[in-house]
């Protein structure tokens, strides 16, 4: 118990430190204030969770028609985890998945969920942070399950993920680097969910990984809000999308 408390305090401090390093400047302070404590109550059936997250999909929604952007040329790519997550206990739908869905609903974009080829990520928070830290230290490039959609069809790609240790999860770099040429000339718009770090430099890191793409104004949403304050999150997302021309 003592070990858990100590570990929790260290992780929260590290996340808050990450918040100081955030370079997004996109007005996310409201979300950042809302981070809460880590919930540790669970022991999940991994196989059950695996069943829930194995589907990679391209799904067409309803065109938005409210802005200047062409929704048929827009794709939302995201990575997200279920199970035990920071401040929200055990979740059936990942925080980033919720945000991604709100974006597709509003824009009518297609969407694609990035899943690991081999899903070795644990569904308990502490174990997941350990693996993610190891991947960060190793600069790992976990393989992606399935086939990436034909990116030539799209002008704009929204790209979202949880902040992991102040960075994109390493599997996102697999996507960026593996599709750098296909993403060249397109507008890439980053979004994060987080526990205090905001956008955590997602935009500049994306720009470095995909130097021939244009990086649009990103958005950061607190994971706790994605789960618990969905009306205000939707309002926030719709305002952002409206400024982007959707
Ligand atoms: C491995 C790991 C590392 C994390 N690192 C950070 C961090 O550096 N900064 C932060 O604000 N939140 C951090 N978090 C919290 C997540 O970014 C946040 O809970 C997110 O909303 C989870 O999204 P998801 O449900 O889509 O996976 C971390 C969570 C995990 C599991």
Atom of ligand 1 nearest to the CA of 91: 25
| Ligand 1 in reach of 85 Cβ (< 6 A) | yes
What band does 41 get if pLDDT is binned at 50, 70 and 90?
very low
The closest of 113, 100, 173 to 140, measured between CA atoms, is 173
Per the domain annotation, does 108 fall within a domain? Answer: yes
User: What percent of the chain stands above pLDDT 70?
Assistant: 72
User: What residue owns the CA closest to ligand 1's atom 19?
Assistant: 86
Give me the CATH number covering residue 167. 3.40.50.360
Give pTM, 2 decimals: 0.79
Per the domain annotation, does 40 fall within a domain? Answer: no
pLDDT at 72: 80
User: What percent of the chain stands above pLDDT 90?
Assistant: 71
Per the domain annotation, does 158 fall within a domain? Answer: yes
pLDDT at 70: 76
CA atoms within 13 A on the CB side of 162: 22
Per the domain annotation, does 42 fall within a domain? Answer: no
Tell me the CA–centroid distance for residue 127 and ligand 1, in Å. Answer: 13
Tell me the CA–centroid distance for residue 132 and ligand 1, in Å. Answer: 10
- In angstroms, the Cα distances linking 214 to 80, 149, 183, 201 are 24, 20, 9, 15
| Ligand 1 in reach of 86 Cβ (< 6 A) | yes
Per the domain annotation, does 71 fall within a domain? Answer: yes
The answer to which of 9-18, 120-129, 219-228 has the lowest mean pLDDT is 9-18
Question: pLDDT tens-digit profile of 188-206?
Answer: 999 999 999 999 999 999 9
CA-CA-CA-CA dihedral for 170, 211, 196, 101, to nearest 10: -80
Tell me the CA–centroid distance for residue 148 and ligand 1, in Å. Answer: 24
pLDDT at 38: 24
Per the domain annotation, does 41 fall within a domain? Answer: no
The mean predicted confidence, pLDDT, of the chain is: 80
Structural domain boundaries enclosing 163: 2-34+47-243
Q: How many residues does the chain have?
A: 246
pLDDT at 25: 30
Tell me the CA–centroid distance for residue 128 and ligand 1, in Å. Answer: 10
Per the domain annotation, does 60 fall within a domain? Answer: yes
Mutate to test the pocket of ligand 1, among 194, 196, 199, 229 (most ligand atoms within 8 A of CB): 194
pLDDT at 68: 66
Domains of the chain: total: 1
Tell me the CA–centroid distance for residue 115 and ligand 1, in Å. Answer: 16
What band does 67 get if pLDDT is binned at 50, 70 and 90?
low
């Amino acid at each position: 118990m003592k070990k858990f408390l100590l570990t929790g305090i260290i992780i929260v401090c590290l996340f808050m430190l990450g918040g100081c390093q955030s370079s997004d400047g996109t007005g996310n302070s409201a979300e950042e204030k809302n981070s809460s404590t880590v919930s540790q109550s669970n022991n999940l059936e991994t196989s059950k969770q695996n069943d829930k997250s194995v589907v990679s999909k391209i799904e067409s929604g309803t065109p938005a028609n409210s802005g200047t952007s062409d929704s048929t040329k827009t794709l939302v790519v995201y990575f997200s985890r279920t199970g035990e997550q920071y401040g929200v206990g055990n979740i059936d739908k990942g925080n980033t998945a919720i945000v991604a869905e709100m974006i597709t609903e509003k824009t009518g974009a297609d969407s694609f969920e990035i899943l690991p080829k081999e899903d070795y990520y644990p569904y308990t928070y502490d174990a997941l942070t350990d693996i993610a830290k190891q991947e960060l230290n190793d600069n790992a490039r976990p393989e992606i399950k399935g086939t990436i959609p034909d990116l030539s069809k799209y002008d704009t790609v929204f790209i979202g993920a949880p902040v992991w240790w102040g960075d994109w999860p390493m599997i996102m770099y697999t996507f960026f680097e593996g599709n750098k040429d296909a993403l060249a000339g397109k507008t890439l718009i980053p979004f994060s969910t987080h526990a205090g770090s905001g956008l955590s430099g997602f935009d500049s890191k994306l720009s470095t990984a995909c130097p021939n793409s244009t990086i649009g104004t990103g958005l950061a949403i607190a994971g706790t809000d994605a789960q618990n304050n969905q009306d205000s999150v939707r309002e926030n997302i719709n305002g952002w999308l409206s400024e982007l021309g959707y």
